[in-house]
Amino acid sequence: MNIGYKNLNGWTKADHDSVFEFADSYKEFLNSGKSEREIIVAALEIAKNEGFVPLSEKASLTPGDKVYELNRNKGLMLAVIGKQHLSKGFNLVGAHVDSPRLDAKQNPLYEDGGIAFMKTHYYGGIKKYQWTTIPLCLSGLIIKKDGTHIHVCLGGEDDDFCFTISDLLPHLAGEQMGKTLGNGIEGESLNVIFAGIPFVEDDKEDVKKAVLILLRDNYGIEEEDFLSAELEFAPAFKAKDVGLDRSFIGSYAQDDRVCSYAALQAILGITIPEKTAICLLVDKEEIGSMGVTGMQSRFFENSVAEMINLSGDYSELLLRRAVSNSVCLSADVCAAYDPNYASAFEKQNTPFAGCGICIMKYTGARGKSGSSDASAELMSAIVRIMNDADVCWQTGELGKVDGGGGGTIAQYTANLDMDTIDAGVPVISMHSPFETVSKLDLYETYRAYTAFYKSNIER
């Protein structure tokens, strides 16, 4: 009898064909958008094709109904109504669709040295040096004075051009190379090369004017339209298999689209669950879950209220009971052990790529600060579900003690009086322009969320 604990490499017993097939569809999902808006459109499209309809179109809800509620095109709730009344609680998997990137400033365009640039303000936690000298694309929304919406999507890998940010040549970088990694590239120097052919008038060259003419003639955009726009620069490259055996996927924005996709696919496979199954895709996690589209917004509670109302007997108390009796998997990525930076981790309590979904009791920083710290009762209940479904899972924490830290939406769902635990995919090079995950972990995370949706934890 084996009474010791050792986490297993999941590849040894996985169905490789299923793992690879799932990974292929995931790569398509990643490639279907860069911004949170584009990825929500892609997720909604997939859900609609599987029969999800707007909550507002329903006169009543019965078990098995598939409904959705869109949050300002940046967030999405999908629900499959369960046999039990919502006030008995639901099973929620919550992931986020926003990712670190470079937002264009509100007044972004200028010219210097014969080049037109776009000024940016980075969004989320980035290592700035990673964002220079890579191909970038631009996506977002410009609303013209007459109210016309222009969805911008320029410079992606299928286009014959892209954008980029310069870095200093090593020959002249003596001073820069003496700086720390953190301040070698200044935030204010993350200016994107946007155009270079001048408009010539009275022997004067004007590249910015040429850009404005181009924007006006091709897109009907004026400079003032930038002031209200949301424009995001992201890495232009597509998702790709990594490794000779194609065991990994490399891509921008896998934090947290890898958990978002696993949660999405899991709920699509649910027919009539015991408890209502909910997949929630939120925005703004990378900057603190703020705002109307973040997890701290009332959007989610309001959507649950609408569902209770359509179940026939709304009251404030039933809403509170529904939330209070529910369980939430905070579906977010964690840091996989990286042998290149071994000293950042404590190997006995760190998730490994290829060892399955990581169930994390707590996140946080410096003494678990900012963590919701799930209970032993909840952790063991989730572990039982994983073991019963033969899911390959592991546990761990975010790096070594006092090495840094981070948080997820867990603290905000827990604040609603909902039992919450973190469970997601380990990532290598998190928050970089090209993050790496194991296909095995993606697939086991999908299986884990599926098992959770089918479960019935009594509080």
User: Using CB under 5 A as the criterion, which residues of the chain lie in contact with Mn ion when the complex forms?
Assistant: 255-256, 332
Shortest separation between residue 193's beta carbon and Mn ion, angstroms: 27
Whether 438 and 353 have beta carbons less than 8 Å apart is answered as yes
Judged by DSSP in three states, 118 sits in strand
Shortest separation between residue 259's beta carbon and Mn ion, angstroms: 8
Contacts of residue 230, Cβ cutoff 8 Å, sequence gap at least 6: 37, 103, 140, 141
Shortest separation between residue 65's beta carbon and Mn ion, angstroms: 30
Q: 390-416 in b/e burial notation, b at 16+ Cβ within 10 A?
A: ebbbbbbbbbeeeeebbbbbbbbbbeb
Shortest separation between residue 250's beta carbon and Mn ion, angstroms: 17
Shortest separation between residue 431's beta carbon and Mn ion, angstroms: 6
Strand 192-195 and strand 136-143: pairing?
Answer: unpaired
State the DSSP string of 371-408. Answer: -----HHHHHHHHHHHHHTT--EEE--SSSTTS-EE--
Shortest separation between residue 446's beta carbon and Mn ion, angstroms: 17
C-beta of 250 vs 273, nearer to Mn ion: 250
C-beta of 286 vs 306, nearer to Mn ion: 286
C-beta of 277 vs 410, nearer to Mn ion: 410
DSSP state of 297: S
Task: Give the residue from 438, 449, 103 showing the smallest Cα distance to 251.
Answer: 438
C-beta of 65 vs 255, nearer to Mn ion: 255
C-beta of 210 vs 281, nearer to Mn ion: 281
Shortest separation between residue 89's beta carbon and Mn ion, angstroms: 25
What's the CA gap between 459 and 454, in Å, rounded?
16
Please tell me whether the peptide bond between 256 and the residue prior to it is cis, using omega within 30 degrees of 0.
Answer: yes
C-beta of 65 vs 283, nearer to Mn ion: 283
The sign of the CA dihedral 429, 430, 434, 437 is positive
Whether 36 and 234 have beta carbons less than 8 Å apart is answered as no
C-beta of 69 vs 435, nearer to Mn ion: 435
Shortest separation between residue 151's beta carbon and Mn ion, angstroms: 25
C-beta of 232 vs 332, nearer to Mn ion: 332
Contacts of residue 285, Cβ cutoff 8 Å, sequence gap at least 6: 96, 98, 256, 294, 295, 332, 408, 409
Shortest separation between residue 122's beta carbon and Mn ion, angstroms: 13
Strand 90-96 and strand 75-80: pairing?
Answer: unpaired
Q: Please, is 296 exposed, middle or buried when counting C-beta atoms within 10 Å of its C-beta (0-12, 13-18, 19+)?
A: middle
Q: Which two tokens stand for residue 117?
A: 């640039």
Residue closest to Mn ion (Cβ): 256
C-beta of 255 vs 419, nearer to Mn ion: 255
C-beta of 255 vs 283, nearer to Mn ion: 255
Shortest separation between residue 286's beta carbon and Mn ion, angstroms: 5
DSSP state of 48: H
C-beta of 354 vs 424, nearer to Mn ion: 424
What's the CA gap between 373 and 367, in Å, rounded?
11
Shortest separation between residue 112's beta carbon and Mn ion, angstroms: 33
What's the CA gap between 352 and 446, in Å, rounded?
17
